[in-house]
């Protein structure tokens, strides 16, 4: 299932507007804050799709019945752009386990690229809810390679793939190879450049968060 949150009317659209704006995104601190805000909103939306169990809480005047989340959640982010998004999720899901993945594009002279995955640090995910964060879902190659490697850590009961902006091609790729995944995104753009960057997109999310890196 695809959840495109920008199709509804909410404050998320303001944050997404500022992240796309060539003027406002020059403020890297604001860009990171907006990324965190996107994480908070998306985490709240995902929380509506989790499992709950009844509980009773004692108040100063009596008892109240509530429904509490019952799933074990593993929150995993692809570095480095995933860090602010991860922080936003942690403000909503404050008792989750965490994983981090070093995956990046290694560009070839012919314009193509390979996904290099250097390491994963992750708890056991068997039978747990896995929420995988990657701010830009372009071709789907990074998500694909990451999920293949995460099979060594177990089979999750639910899989949620989260991006701030996705391309329609990337969404279709995830749907094809991981049909049980729930895909959550702030917006879906239709075009990819010859170098597989999302158009209109917002640019390089990692650079906008943390500064320009040296290219290989």
Distance from C-alpha of 76 to C-alpha of 162, rounded to nearest angstrom: 10
Q: Whose CA is closest to 146, among 121, 168, 167?
A: 121
Distance from C-alpha of 150 to C-alpha of 167, rounded to nearest angstrom: 23
216, part of any domain: no
pLDDT tens for 173-214 read 999 999 999 999 999 999 998 888 899 999 888 888 888 876
Number of domains within the chain: 1
Average pLDDT, the chain: 92
Sequence-separated (6 or more) residues with CB below 8 Å from residue 112: none
pLDDT tens for 44-53 read 999 999 999 9
The three-class DSSP label of residue 189 is strand
Q: Phi and psi of 77, rounded to 5°?
A: -125, 140
Question: What's the mean pLDDT in 90-110?
Answer: 83
Share of the chain above pLDDT 90, in %: 77
111, part of any domain: yes
Check residue 110 and give its pLDDT. 65
Secondary structure of 138-174 in HEC code, one letter for each residue: CCCHHHHHHHHHHHHHCCCCEEEEEEEEEEHHHHHHH
Check residue 111 and give its pLDDT. 61
Radius of gyration from C-alpha coordinates of the chain = 18
106, part of any domain: yes
Give the residue, 208 or 43, on which the prediction is more confident.
43
Check residue 212 and give its pLDDT. 81
Q: What is the CATH number of the domain that holds 39?
A: 3.40.50.2020
């Amino acid at each position: 299932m695809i959840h495109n949150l920008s199709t509804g009317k909410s404050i998320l659209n303001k944050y997404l507007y500022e992240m796309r704006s060539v003027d406002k995104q020059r403020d890297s601190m604001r860009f990171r804050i907006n990324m965190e805000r996107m994480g908070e909103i998306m985490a709240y939306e995902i929380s509506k799709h989790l499992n709950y169990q009844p509980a009773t809480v004692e108040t100063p005047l009596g008892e109240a019945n509530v429904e509490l989340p019952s799933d074990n959640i593993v929150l995993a982010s692809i570095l480095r752009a995933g860090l602010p998004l991860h922080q936003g999720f942690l403000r909503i899901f404050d008792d989750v386990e965490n994983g981090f993945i070093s995956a990046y594009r290694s560009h070839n002279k012919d314009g193509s690229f390979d996904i290099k995955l250097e390491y994963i640090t992750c708890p056991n995910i068997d039978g747990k809810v896995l929420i995988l964060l990657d701010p830009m879902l372009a071709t789907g190659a990074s998500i694909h390679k990451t999920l293949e490697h995460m099979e060594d850590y177990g089979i999750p009961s639910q899989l949620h793939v989260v991006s701030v902006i996705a391309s329609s091609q990337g969404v279709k790729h995830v749907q094809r190879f991981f049909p049980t995944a729930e895909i959550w995104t702030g917006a879906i753009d239709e075009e990819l450049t010859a170098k597989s960057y999302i158009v209109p997109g917002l640019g390089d999310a990692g650079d906008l968060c943390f500064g320009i890196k040296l290219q290989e």
